[in-house]
Amino acid sequence: MPTAMIAFGSSLRAPQNRMNADLMSQKPSESEEDDIPEMELSGGVRGKYYEAYQKGTNVVLLEPDVATVFRDSAVVNQALRQYLAEHGAPPTPSKHAG
């Protein structure tokens, strides 16, 4: 019994688009490399925040209206300490099994 060969689109060899291959193999021009500004990092201090990081840090984002009152971490810490002195520490949340 004769069998017929069926060609599928995915098995056919398609011609490559030469223009795409040429564009992808090009190296960036000098003007593209110069678009990235250089940064001056010579004044950096290695390990400047290492100790603070080791102790642990909490980063909290303030809403804009609150940030106008609490300008920096010193003011926030002072307000929180005063709140804790007046109201005590909040209860620790219990972990739910599940």
Q: Which residues contact residue 79 at a Cβ distance below 8 angstroms, ignoring those fewer than 6 apart?
A: 70
pTM confidence score: 0.39
**CA nearest 80: which of 65, 64, 58?**
58
d(Cα 44, Cα 46) in Å, to the nearest integer?
6
For residues 88 and 57, the model is more confident at 88
The reported pLDDT for the residue numbered 81 is: 95
Q: What is the mean pLDDT of the chain?
A: 77
Taking only the tens place, the pLDDT of each residue in 1-56 is 556 665 555 655 666 666 666 666 666 665 566 677 788 878 888 888 888 888 88
The reported pLDDT for the residue numbered 90 is: 86
Signed CA dihedral, 97, 89, 57, 59: sign only: positive
Residue 82 has pLDDT above 90, yes or no: yes
5: amino acid identity, one letter = M
Could you give the C-alpha distances from 26 to 19, 21, 23, in angstroms and in order?
11, 9, 6
